[in-house]
């Protein structure tokens, strides 16, 4: 597990943690509490991997979105799949969840036994109209969903609200 500020000056613009979902969310919660940070503007979760484990992580991440209610979800995906019949599929996408979903459905049809190789990264950015209160219902729901679905090691990046000058 790793936790660090990704800004080099104070106050930090955000926090970052990685590891198993429960550990990463707890590290983020602990650091936010230590820094007296109460709200987040958004929270991003990223997974990457290879082979059938990467497909499993993509499925877990996709199953998380419908459980998050009114979250606005942005997606960044960069993936390459090589199938045993010589078919190759490369996907590079940046945009909203509702436009990504059909692409995910195509990738999800690949069975592990059809896969010769795969690699990639998927990042989901969650934002709520009223922000995310540390330890509040949106934060807790995100944590609980990721712990339950367990997409493997996850990198979390929490963006802080912009400070008015």
Range from 7-11, 16-20, 50-54, 56-60 carrying the lowest mean pLDDT = 7-11
Return the pLDDT at 112.
86
Confidence of residue 68 (pLDDT cuts 50, 70, 90): confident
Mean pLDDT across the chain, nearest whole number? 88
Whether residue 4 is predicted with pLDDT greater than 50 in this model: the reply is: no
Write out the chain in H/E/C secondary structure: CEEEECCCCCCCCEEEEEECHHHHHHHHHHHHHHCCCCEECEEEEEEEEEHHHHHHHHHHHHHHHHHHCCCEEEEEEEEEEEECCCCEEEEEEEEEHHHHHHHHHHHHCCCHHHEEEEEEEEEEEEECCCCEECCCHHHHHHHHHHHHHCCCCEEEEEECCCCCC
**Kindly report the CA angle at 91 between 88 and 92, in degrees rounded to 5?**
145
Distance of CA 159 to the CA centre of its chain: 13
Contact 54, 104 (CB under 8 A): no
What's the whole-number mean pLDDT along residues 126-135?
87
pLDDT of 10 above 50? no
For residue 164, pLDDT over 70 is answered with: no
Residue 70 has pLDDT above 90, yes or no: no
**What pLDDT score was predicted for residue 69?**
76
Give the span between the Cα atoms of 81 and 101, in whole angstroms. 17
* For range 64-89, the mean pLDDT: 92
């Amino acid at each position: 597990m790793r936790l660090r500020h990704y800004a080099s000056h104070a106050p930090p613009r955000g926090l970052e943690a990685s590891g198993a979902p429960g550990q990463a969310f707890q590290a983020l919660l602990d650091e936010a509490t230590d820094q007296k940070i109460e709200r987040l503007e958004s929270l991003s979760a990223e997974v990457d991997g290879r082979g059938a484990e990467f497909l499993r992580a993509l499925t877990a991440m996709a199953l998380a979105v419908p459980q998050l209610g009114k979250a606005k979800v942005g997606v960044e995906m960069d993936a390459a799949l090589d199938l045993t019949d010589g078919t190759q599929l490369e996907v590079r996408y940046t945009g909203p969840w509702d436009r990504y979903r059909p692409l995910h459905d195509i990738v999800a049809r690949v069975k592990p036994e059809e896969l010769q190789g795969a690699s990639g990264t998927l990042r989901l950015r969650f934002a709520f109209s009223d922000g995310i209160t540390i330890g509040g219902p949106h934060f807790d729901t995100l944590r609980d969903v990721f712990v339950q679905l367990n997409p493997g090691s996850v990198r979390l990046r929490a963006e802080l609200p912009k400070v008015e000058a």
